[in-house]
Chain A
Amino acid sequence: MLTKSSRVTTKAFEEATGWEFKPQGACKGDVCIPLDMPTEDTIDVVTTASAMGLPVVEDEDHGFIAIGPESVGNRALTSALAPEIELPDLDGNPFRLSSLRGQKVIVYAWAPY
């Protein structure tokens, strides 16, 4: 996830990273990283990410904080449950992959270069 603010709402953090705060920790699918539940509506991004073992890169010149993905299972996927992916179409309308539940889906990655 990318942010220019050192504090974000827990909801924004959950949506951007795919990790959900639960009593047992930060969870994705069946995998949980032990963590104290946030007690406020907002959290410190760097502190939380570091406590979860997520990589943090800061660019102080331009004010960006980038949080990388987890590597807990040493694989790109920690769960076979497809992550929620929301991306825009050509007109900027957001589309959620989960809206296709009930169909088989092939997600095809291409690039114009």
Chain B
Amino acid sequence: MWQALRDELHPQGLELVTVGLDTLGAEGCRRFMEAAEPTHPALIDQYHLLARTLGVINIPSAVWIDEQGMIVRPAEPAPAPPRDKPQSAPTELPPGMPDRIVGMMTEAAKIPSDPQTYHDALRDWVDKGAQSGFAMSPEQVIARSRPRDEHVALGHAHFELASALELEGHHDAAIRHFRRAHELVPDSWTFRRQAWSLEPGPEGPLQRFWQGPADDDPASWPYEGDWLGDVRKVGAENYNEPFKP
């Protein structure tokens, strides 16, 4: 869907750069990237550089940058382009789906999303540039970027260290630093989702989406939270911040 939008708006001077945030790098991203057959730059971010440099705290999110290299909208939730035909909602889930996955899909369905508003704004900016009401001033961009005090900054160092330890095969040591990162950067869903996705879930395609304790061994889960529990705690309606012009 993003590919189609890019192809449509590319002649008007818009380029799309997709960035997959994953400690596992190409190994984790390849399947999805090859299926998307991108004609635009499609990059891999093993250490979540986008979190540190742009303030990305959840996915999917996006940053707009103008022709002069100035950010005109900082990182914010970026829903997929609206479909021409409304998707028919599945009335029921396939039988035999584990309770955790049913719970996660139920919560995910409650997360508010307004692709029309976001994409109308994007098109307005592509059309009008700096004259668009959705392009912010440098001062607004900085003020609207994520809060970062010294605790948050320290949390980023722990996350980067955790990523390196994981990649060198020191999984238990990585967990300690992922946990510190979670404590210090509590608003980052990506820091949590990344760490949760590196735990052994059930075998098969759901493995990295499980994001929580195993049904048969909940005590070995090394993190305070998990996706289903954390989303229920904050409320699915608060999972993403709403689009603010």
Q: Which B residues from 159 to 205 make CB contacts under 8 A with A?
A: 160-161, 164-165, 168, 170, 173, 177, 190, 193-194, 196-197
Q: Are B158 and A66 in contact (CB under 8 A)?
A: yes
Q: Are B20 and A68 in contact (CB under 8 A)?
A: no
Contact flag A2-B17 (CB < 8 Å), given A18-B53, A74-B147, A77-B142: no
List residues of chain B with CB within 8 A of the CB of A109.
Answer: 19, 21, 45, 50, 56, 59-62, 75, 190
How far is the CB of B130 from the nearest CB of chain A, in Å?
A: 11
Interface SS of chain A: loop
List residues of chain B with CB within 8 A of the CB of A2.
Answer: 47, 160-161, 164
* Assembled-state Cα–Cα distance A1/B75 (Å): 21
Contact flag A83-B161 (CB < 8 Å), given A95-B41, A110-B20: no
In the complex, B100 has a CB within 8 A of chain A: no
Q: Are B160 and A66 in contact (CB under 8 A)?
A: yes
Q: Are A90 and B30 in contact (CB under 8 A)?
A: yes
Q: Which of A74, A79, A97, A113 contacts B28 (CB 8 A)?
A: A113
In the complex, B104 has a CB within 8 A of chain A: no
Q: B73-105 toward A: CB 8 Å interface, digit per residue (1/0)? A: 011001000000000000000000000000000
Known: A83-B54, A113-B208. 18 other contacts (CB 8 A): A59-B161, A61-B173, A62-B165, A62-B168, A66-B161, A68-B156, A68-B158, A71-B153, A77-B71, A90-B34, A95-B17, A97-B65, A105-B16, A108-B62, A110-B18, A110-B59, A111-B20, A111-B190
A-B contact pairs, 14 of them (CB 8 A): A1-B160, A2-B161, A57-B157, A69-B53, A76-B148, A89-B43, A90-B29, A100-B65, A103-B67, A108-B60, A110-B60, A112-B32, A113-B28, A113-B194
